[in-house]
Amino acid sequence: MTDTTYWSNKRVCVTGGAGFLGYHLIEKLKARGATNIFIPKIENYNLVEQADVKRMLSDAKPDVIIHLAAHVGGIGANREHPAEFFYDNLMMGVQLIHESWKAGVEKFVAIGTVCAYPKFTPVPFREDDIWNGYPEETNAPYGLAKKMLLTQSQAYRQQYGYNSIFLIPVNLYGPRDNFRPESSHVIPALIKKCVEAVDRGEKEVPIWGDGSPTREFIYVDDAAEGIALATEKYNGSDPVNIGSGNEISIRALAELIAKLTGFTGQLMWDTTKPNGQPRRGLDVSRAEQYFGFRASMPFEEGLRRTIEWYQKNR
C-alpha cells in the first residue's frame, strides 16, 4: 500500500533528481501526490562544496531529502578515477547529512551502493555482513565513501535522534539508463554493443572478463518504488537492501541480450580485463519485512523494455 497522504504537504528535495534513477523516482513521487519537489541541478549547486549545500538547503527548505546524487561509473571509470569517486561521494554525503540535521530537515534518506559489500560476502548478501571484509578493489574507494554515510546515519540517530535511513540498491537497469561507453554499466554497455553490431553487420562483440561473475539487477522503476516506500514507512538504523533477488551470470546476461537484440554472432570474452566482484546477489527479505517492498518486473521483460527505449532514443 502506498501512502499518498505522506507526500501531500511535504517539501521534498531529491539530489540527483535529474539523473536515471531520479527521473523515475520523481515520477513515482508525483503519482503519490507530492507537489513540492526540489531538484538541485549540478550547474547551480555543487554539493561537494559545503557553501553550496547550505545554500541549497536554504533555497529548498525541505522536510525530506532523498540523496541519490553520486559520482558513479563502471569498472573502467572506477579504476581511472578512484580518488575523485572517493572524495566527491564522501564530501557530498557527509556534509549533506550534517547540514540537513543542523537545518532541521525531518528525514534523510541516504542511498548507498552494493559496492560497499566485502569482496567475498556469502551470497545472498545479508545486510549484517556489510562490515565483514574489504570491498572488491576496483570499486572500493566508491563503496567505502558511500558506506561512511551508514556510519554517520547511525551515529546521528544515536546521538541526536536524527531520522536518517540507509538503503542499498543493487545494480539498476531500465529505460533512460546511461549508455555512454566511457561510464556505462554492464547492461547498457552490452545493449549498445549488440545493437550497433547488428546495425553494422559485425560478427563479434568484445566483452570484458570471462563471463563467470554473477550479478543481480533491479529494474529502475522497482528501485524507485522501494525508495518511495522506505521513505514513507521505514524509520530505523539498519541498512536495507533494495534488490530483485535474482542472480545471473554475466555470460548468461550477454547471451540473453544478444538474443533480444537479434545479434547472432560471437561473444568474444577478453580475459585480460578484470571480472570485478566474483558473485553478487542480495537477500531482499528485510525490505519486505520492514516496509513491504518486493520487486515485480520480470528480468527478460525489463531488458526488452530497456532495449526498445534505447533503439528509439539513441
- The answer to whether the CB of 292 falls within 8 A of the CB of 233 is yes
Distance of alpha carbon 299 from alpha carbon 229, whole angstroms = 21
Q: What is the pLDDT of residue 217?
A: 97
In a domain, 27, yes or no: yes
In a domain, 234, yes or no: yes
**Confidence at 185, pLDDT banded by 50, 70, 90:** confident
Exposed/middle/buried for residue 312 (C-beta within 10 Å: 0-12, 13-18, 19+) = exposed
In a domain, 303, yes or no: no
**Confidence at 25, pLDDT banded by 50, 70, 90:** very high
**Any idea what DSSP says for residue 134?**
P
Distance of alpha carbon 75 from alpha carbon 185, whole angstroms = 8
- Count CB atoms within 10 A of the CB of residue 128: 11
Among residues 23, 45, 117, 142, the one annotated as catalytic is 142
Q: What is the pLDDT of residue 184?
A: 84
Q: Is the model more confident about 56 or about 74?
A: 56
The residue segments making up the domain with residue 21 are 4-173+217-246+281-297
Average pLDDT over residues 161-180: 97
- The answer to whether the CB of 189 falls within 8 A of the CB of 261 is no
- The answer to whether the CB of 305 falls within 8 A of the CB of 251 is no
Distance of alpha carbon 110 from alpha carbon 116, whole angstroms = 13
Q: Which three cell numbers stand for residue 121?
A: 560476502
In a domain, 8, yes or no: yes
**Confidence at 194, pLDDT banded by 50, 70, 90:** very high
Q: How many domains, in total, are found in the chain?
A: 1
Cα dist. 125→118, 130, 139, 256 in Å? 9, 8, 17, 24
Smallest CA-to-CA distance from 79 within 153, 162, 140 is with: 140
- The answer to whether the CB of 297 falls within 8 A of the CB of 253 is no
- The answer to whether the CB of 220 falls within 8 A of the CB of 171 is no
CATH of the domain at 289: 3.40.50.720
Torsion of CA 263, 264, 265, 270, to 10 degrees: 60
Which run of H or of E encompasses 95? helix 82-103
Q: What is the pLDDT of residue 274?
A: 87
In a domain, 206, yes or no: no
Say yes or no to pLDDT of 275 above 90: no
Assess whether 290 carries a catalytic annotation.
Answer: no
Say yes or no to pLDDT of 79 above 90: no
In a domain, 155, yes or no: yes
Cα dist. 122→4, 52, 127, 132 in Å? 38, 40, 11, 10
In a domain, 136, yes or no: yes
Which residues 6+ apart lie within 8 Å of 192 measured at CB? Answer: 179, 181, 184, 310, 314
Q: What is the pLDDT of residue 1?
A: 58
Compute the mean pLDDT over every residue in the chain, rounded to the nearest whole number: 95
**Sheet containing strand 164-169, strands side by side:** 36-38, 11-15, 64-67, 107-111, 164-169, 240-242
Percent of the chain with pLDDT over 90: 90
Percent of the chain with pLDDT over 70: 99
In a domain, 263, yes or no: no
